[in-house]
Chains A and B, each alone.
Chain A
Amino acid sequence: MRRRGAASATAIRMARVLLPRSRKPVSLFISLAGVLIAFALNATPAMALSLNPDAASPGIEDANTLHWILFVVILAVIVVVNLAILKAARPRSRAVTPKPGRKVSQVKLAIGLGVFALALFVVATVFSDKSREIPAVNAEPVAGQVKGEPLEITATGSQWLWRFNYPNGAFSYRRLTVPAGVTVQLDLVSTDVVHGWNVPELTGKAQAIPGKTNKVYFRADDPGVYTSRSSVLSGQGYDTMEIEVNVVSPEEYEAAIEELKTDIQDAQDKVEAQFKAERDKSEAAADQVGKAETNNDAESAEAE
């Protein structure tokens, strides 16, 4: 115990040499402010008040608006509370005894805080409801879409790849192609572990849980490519479990999934053709062997 104490005391003595000698906490806050300013200057433009830069689906705009409101509220709370703490911690001069402040009724304070909390809840509920609304369904259905219903696509999470099943039977891995201006219902399912579906610009996050279907709705109004990655730890390949959503015009979408379907059919045909060829070959070989065996049998019989 004594030796350990001596060792840590030596460490502290070394640190005392390294640290600024000023006893005032001001130096502390100046150094802190310096680091934070350097950080602000170096940060990328996305940092500018730290909100999502893009909202490509109607619901996400509401989420971003709510985030703006809450960001201002949170910043105000943090600034007010911490200024009060700094004021409370100010050094006292012995000559002046502080006046006891006026008594605040705890009940009134609780009611005030309750009204504040309730107001936040109402605002959050309004915006959350709006962001969860199913976007208005397009008038002209695209291929595979029931009129008046959203276009239904299934996203299946597996370790460590997303698979997307389109209504015409085609499927793709990693890259989801969706038509612009069309409301899409994405059914999130999983074949193995919990996966985190995560496309901030279109849907936000939603977990794909085995045995359960999690539905998210979005309508991407402009063509574009949105890349992201899964958000729930799912094993060794988690960091490479990417998602790419490719928003194209409805015509391009129809062409793309038709092409996918024909490609898949072609691949299937090729596999079957190859399988058939191999089976024929092996059957032929087996026949020859059979013939050779019968020949051998015949020869041996003759020999006997």
Chain B
Amino acid sequence: MSRTTSYPQTMPPTRPEISSDGPEPARTRWAQLATSADHKDIGRILVSVAFGSIFLAALELLLMRAQLAVPENVFLKGVTFDRLLSVYGETAIFLVALPLIIGLLYYVVPLQIGSRTTAIPRVGQTGLWLFIFGGILLYGSFLFTPPEAGINPLPPFSDATFNPNNGVDVWIGSTGLITLGLLMVAIDLLATLHNLRAPGMAWRRAPLFTWAGAIVTWLFVVIAPIFLAAISMLMIDRLYDGGFFAGDEGGSPILWQHLSYIFFTGVYMSVAITFLAAIGEIVQTFTGRELPRKAVTRSFVAIAIIGTLAWTQNMLTVPIPSGWKYFGMLMSLALIVPFGLIFYNLISTVSQSDFHMRAPLRFALGALSLASIGLAAEIAQSTIAVATQLSETYDAWAATHFTLIGFVLFGGFAAVTYWYPKMTGRQLNEDRAAKSFGLMFVGTIIALLPLFAAGVSGQVTDSYRYFSFEDLGVYNLIAGIGTLILFVGIVLAIGNLVASRSEEPAATPDPYRGDSLEWLALSPPPAHNFDVLPDVHSTRPMRDIREAVIRRDAETAAAEDAAPVSA
């Protein structure tokens, strides 16, 4: 904390009729949270659920890696492994990545645009509860049959003929509730973004994270209905012999692959956009420099459109017309341009400025490092000739995990540590954050780098065992050790988030001298966010306000000096 701020802890209310000190709430805190339609409460619940689920996903990954640590292991049964794999995939995508990005955006973006509320809060609240029931359904299924048809349950394997138990029904129900719920939250955010921006907050002045919010919610409004349609068809196939995905009844199993991969690719891109924007905010705040806004925001739009159009990159071994395969390859490789631009601008901005290394920036740079490995490795996965060799192996698994662990885990911790003072009103313990970062970073690299080699040596994913003659033991053993280190790091990092809430000193409203409007609100913000809605005149409204306060203080002091004090 070398850069302490001279900015006062609370703004003097200029309009006395609006006060942040209301009467004491009549209900207890949990009842208030459970019935709240406030975007901050909903956002915090979503982010908390995401961090709890990070622990669950890491535990499931650790169990799977323990099973694969040695060849012909008998630690887990095949069916148990398949269930862990399916639940892990759903947890990582639907209970970690999506609620984390939607929750963060839903919490921060209304504050950034200077809004006192969201446009249709009841829609957001309904969405939150649909999401929560989806999560309860998934983990409640451990009482009977969890899903066991893989991360992406391809029909006809996921049809009732080959998976007659309730596992796939649980998968459909829980992903459906979660997607529908988060879609409603996204729609609320989108309506807020288009209607409730503070005076003067034109799009050209909106912060990067707000831009990411607009792009990601629009993208989600496009891709989520596609996925909901697909799982509805799968449900009709399973329960009422629909035949949408039955090859011999006029349907096609390939249809499912198209629809589901459009959604999953869109989610991948949403994750990348959200966390690159969060990293952009962090870099801007800690270096005090602005990123080139036009280039970065246009790159986000390009990632959203081109990236989602690259869905056939996942289908290069499927019998689809080869034109689609070349199209997928072109779109995937075209992503080099926007990703390259953003990475260049982020890294060069950090490189050319003076700053103190703090936890959010540390996690942000770690995220860029890991995601760069994953995104570069995806180049090989995108070309038709190499994909016929390496897709469906641990090479593909490692590439995807480097990108998603980089963005979701490290980007997620970067964003949450950055906004931690705002969300909780407490500072974060920097020392513990740095240590857990070190463990997580080393663990991720040790857990994933050997898997590239395992994939090239031919280890296929989703299999609960391999045999000693395949010579894969070394890679998997090292990956298992790395996963253990990663798991310990994750536990410590989450523990730090929990422990700092009760141990650390209170945070000021603007601990980093940030430039966007969320730092104008108190920490944590009151229910109505702002006592005063400022007029926005530039891309850095908070700096304008700070300068105005300093100017006003100087004027007051000058006036006091001028007026002789009567004795």
Binding site for B on A (CB under 8 A): 1-2, 4-6, 8-9, 11-12, 15-16, 19, 25, 28, 31-32, 35-36, 39, 42-44, 46-47, 50-52, 59-60, 62-64, 66-67, 70-71, 73-74, 77-78, 81-82, 84-85, 87-89, 91-92, 97-101, 104, 106, 109-110, 113-114, 116-118, 120-121, 124-125, 127-128, 130-132, 159, 192-194, 196, 198, 200, 203-207, 209-215, 228-236, 238-239
Q: Kindly list chain B residues whose C-beta atoms are within 8 Å of the C-beta of A99.
A: 352
Instruction: Please tell me if B33 contacts chain A, counting CB pairs below 8 Å.
Output: no
Q: Kindly list chain B residues whose C-beta atoms are within 8 Å of the C-beta of A70.
A: 379-380, 383, 386
For residue B439, give the distance in angstroms from its CB to the closest CB of chain A.
Answer: 8
Cβ proximity bits B320-354 to A, threshold 8 Å, 1 near / 0 not = 00100010011001111100110111011011111
Q: Kindly list chain A residues whose C-beta atoms are within 8 Å of the C-beta of B453.
A: 43, 47, 50
Q: Kindly list chain B residues whose C-beta atoms are within 8 Å of the C-beta of A239.
A: 78, 463-466
Can you report 17 residue pairs joining A to B where beta carbons are below 8 Å apart?
A1-B501, A15-B488, A32-B442, A35-B446, A46-B471, A85-B368, A89-B365, A110-B295, A117-B335, A121-B333, A124-B386, A159-B162, A203-B388, A205-B387, A205-B389, A213-B319, A233-B150
For residue A161, give the distance in angstroms from its CB to the closest CB of chain B.
Answer: 15
Which one of A12, A31, A231 lies within 8 Å of B460 (CB-CB)? A231
Q: Kindly list chain A residues whose C-beta atoms are within 8 Å of the C-beta of B386.
A: 63, 66-67, 70, 124
Which one of A1, A4, A128, A213 lies within 8 Å of B329 (CB-CB)? A128
Which one of A36, A52, A64, A120 lies within 8 Å of B379 (CB-CB)? A120
Once A and B bind, how many residue pairs between them come within 8 Å at the CB atom? Answer: 292
Instruction: Please tell me if B258 contacts chain A, counting CB pairs below 8 Å.
Output: no
Q: Does B78 lie within 8 Å of A236, measured CB to CB?
A: yes
Q: Kindly list chain A residues whose C-beta atoms are within 8 Å of the C-beta of B474.
A: 39, 42-44
Which one of A63, A192, A228, A238 lies within 8 Å of B458 (CB-CB)? A228
Q: Does B457 lie within 8 Å of A47, measured CB to CB?
A: yes
A83 CA / B390 CA spacing, docked (Å): 27
For residue B535, give the distance in angstroms from its CB to the closest CB of chain A.
Answer: 30
Q: Does A8 lie within 8 Å of B496, measured CB to CB?
A: yes
Q: Kindly list chain A residues whose C-beta atoms are within 8 Å of the C-beta of B377.
A: 74
A231 CA / B502 CA spacing, docked (Å): 49
For residue B386, give the distance in angstroms from its CB to the closest CB of chain A.
Answer: 5
A62 CA / B386 CA spacing, docked (Å): 9
Q: Kindly list chain B residues whose C-beta atoms are within 8 Å of the C-beta of A109.
A: 295, 340-341, 344
Q: Does B478 lie within 8 Å of A39, measured CB to CB?
A: yes
Binding site for A on B (CB under 8 A): 78-79, 82, 149-150, 154, 156-157, 161-162, 246-248, 252-254, 292, 294-295, 317-319, 322, 326, 329-330, 333-337, 340-341, 343-345, 347-348, 350-355, 357, 362, 365, 368-369, 372-373, 376-377, 379-380, 382-393, 432, 435, 438-439, 441-442, 445-446, 449-450, 452-453, 456-458, 460-466, 471, 474-475, 478, 488, 491-492, 494-496, 498-499, 501-503
Q: Kindly list chain B residues whose C-beta atoms are within 8 Å of the C-beta of A12.
A: 432, 492, 495-496, 499
Which one of B247, B330, B350, B372 lies within 8 Å of A78 (CB-CB)? B372
For residue B306, give the distance in angstroms from its CB to the closest CB of chain A.
Answer: 11
Q: Does A92 lie within 8 Å of B354, measured CB to CB?
A: yes
Q: Does B445 lie within 8 Å of A32, measured CB to CB?
A: yes
Q: Kindly list chain B residues whose C-beta atoms are within 8 Å of the C-beta of A59.
A: 385
Which one of B368, B452, B503 lies within 8 Å of A5 (CB-CB)? B503
Name B2's closest neighbour in chain A (CB-CB).
Answer: A94
For residue B444, give the distance in angstroms from its CB to the closest CB of chain A.
Answer: 10
Q: Kindly list chain A residues whose C-beta atoms are within 8 Å of the C-beta of B82.
A: 233, 236
Which one of B335, B388, B457 lies within 8 Å of A131 (CB-CB)? B388
Which one of A43, A81, A91, A230 lies within 8 Å of B347 (CB-CB)? A81
Say whether, besides A82-B372, A110-B341, A193-B157, A74 and B379 are in contact (CB < 8 Å). yes
Name A14's closest neighbour in chain B (CB-CB).
Answer: B492
Q: Kindly list chain B residues whose C-beta atoms are within 8 Å of the C-beta of A85.
A: 347, 365, 368-369, 372
Q: Kindly list chain B residues whose C-beta atoms are within 8 Å of the C-beta of A84.
A: 347-348, 351
